[in-house]
Amino acid sequence: MPVQPTFINLFYTREELLKFLLVCRQKLTDELPSQIVSISLEIPMVEPLAVLQEFFLENRLHFYWEKKAGFRVAIAAIDSATYLTVESGNRFQQCQDFIKTCLDKTISVGTVALPFSGPHFFSSFTFFDSCDSVNSFPPATIFLPSLQISKSGDRYTLVVNVEIDFTTDVEKISGNLWKQIQQISSFNKKVSFIPPTSVENFNKVNLEEPQIFERSVAFALELIHQNHLKKIVLASAIDVRSKTPFNLIASLNNLRQIYPDCYVFSIGNGKGQNFIGASPEKLIGIESDRLITDALAGSAPRGKTPSQDAELAKSLLSSKKDLREHFFVRDFLVKSLEELGFLPKCSPKPQLLQLSNIQHLWTPIKAGNSGEIHVLEILAKLHPTPAMAGVPRDIVRAKIREFETVDRSLYAAPIGWIDSKGNGEIGRASCR
């Protein structure tokens, strides 16, 4: 992928942008029939969620990712310059091949040293590698956005991506790109206040009879007692309907206020369906020469008073049941990374990860990263972990499909981003 660093004022006029894109089209050949142009710019302070609110279209792919606590990161990826959906086969390998194919024909220009500059690929994978025909999300979706707006600390970056081939109307494309760059560079809107939907307007309906789920739990416990399983995580679904339409931006805004320590996310399939939530679970984080993953299992509520909270924390840290479940996850992650050639390191005892409404046993696991193994290869090895599946993994996956009556879709599944250097962050789309 050719990279051409330039100053923040990459193109002073639309005509300069048009000339640049015309040169890119002129360089196309039979061997290179299309090229992706990725332009990165540093922009004034902007709220990515407000940009998503302004440019959101239900019939376009989108990805939103934010964590308010710590370094304060937020990314809005809107529409797609190019994308891939996978219905069958090795979905992780196909997505990895898609990234490589795109990068081989990408020219990246602008202020490419900025946080979140250059091409980034946004992906979502369903829990299982095949889905029911009624599922709104395919087993894998990955896309390079047309627009990407990010906040990292106090730095703000705009990335626009466009694919050009022999038939591209470059004049029209340059006009649209110029307009978008100008709009977002001068964007000063905040998230519009939308009153939350009243609880009285909600109607909750179980998607299966409670006794069916109870029977599944009883069968699972019997399998554990017979030593066929060591752990299994079963889920049930509730259908929540409102008399007034749900508002995506209002829901995300509420989640980021309530759960600042979690990843708040939204994934749109471009067909009017969105999957949103707030999760504390980092499955894989890769930055330069470092890999991080979290063993997160074993939970307790937060107390209503400091003394009650401390007592619940103490009880969790000494709970044989919760510690056993936690070590299933930790040991699985360590062993899986070792099998990939990593040398993972972690504390022998878990610590607490305390969120607004719940606290977990948590063991961060770190390893050096040579960059020789792609993040999607690591993901294929790790997903699903015992945290949301169980032990032994292959048997548990079959039993989950047998016992659960609703397809998990993106629930408890990997979502995240990957950049052109192989860095990335993959979380698990569970909810807190």
Instruction: pLDDT band for 203, please (50, 70, 90 cuts).
Output: confident
Residue 199, pLDDT > 70, answer no
Q: Is 19 known to be catalytic? A: no
Side chain identity at residue 220, one-letter code: A
For residue 194, the model assigns a pLDDT of 74
Q: Is 230 helix (H, G, I), strand (E, B) or coil?
A: coil
104 is written with which tokens?
Answer: 């081989």
The predicted structure's pLDDT at residue 8 = 43
User: Is pLDDT at 197 greater than 70 in this prediction?
Assistant: no
Do residues 292 and 282 make contact, with C-beta atoms less than 8 angstroms apart?
yes
Encode burial over 362-385: b for 16+ CB neighbours within 10 A, e otherwise.
bbbbbbebeeebbbbebbbebbbb
- Cα 167 to the chain's mean position, in Å? 34
Number of Cβ within 10 Å of residue 33's Cβ equals: 11
Beta strands 238-242 and 290-301 are unpaired
* Residue-level pLDDT at 275: 95
The 3-state DSSP class for residue 259 equals coil
- The rounded mean pLDDT for the chain is 91
Active site residue 200: no
Do 61 and 273 meet the contact criterion of CB atoms below 8 Å apart?
no
Catalytic residue (one of 281, 282, 325, 399) = 281
Amino acid 107: pLDDT: 95
Q: With a cut of 90, say whether residue 365 has pLDDT above it.
A: yes
Instruction: Give the pairing type, strands 358-368 and 390-391.
Output: unpaired
pLDDT in tens, 262-271: 999 999 999 9
- pLDDT for 238 beyond 90: no
Task: Give the Cβ contact number of residue 360 at 10 Å.
Answer: 24
Q: Where are the strands (E) in 166-262, listed by range?
A: 202-206, 231-232, 238-242
- Please report which confidence band the pLDDT of residue 6 belongs to, taking 50, 70 and 90 as the band edges: very low
Q: State the catalytic residue, choosing from 231, 325, 399, 425.
A: 231
What distances in angstroms separate CA 285 from CA 22, 115, 290, 294, one per listed residue?
38, 15, 8, 9
DSSP helix/strand/coil, 281 = coil
Neighbour count for residue 244 (Cβ, 10 Å): 9
Left, alpha or beta for 428 (phi > 0: left; psi -120 to 50: alpha)?
Answer: beta
CB 415: neighbour CB atoms within 10 A?
25
- CA neighbor of 23 nearest in space, from 164, 206, 177: 164
pLDDT at 108: 94
| Pairwise CA distance, residues 159 & 147, whole Å | 6
What CA–CA distance (Å, rounded) separates 140 from 125?
A: 4
At 157, the amino acid letter reads T
| Structure tokens, 265 | 């996310």
If pLDDT is split at 50, 70 and 90, which confidence band does 310 have? very high
SS3 category, 54: helix
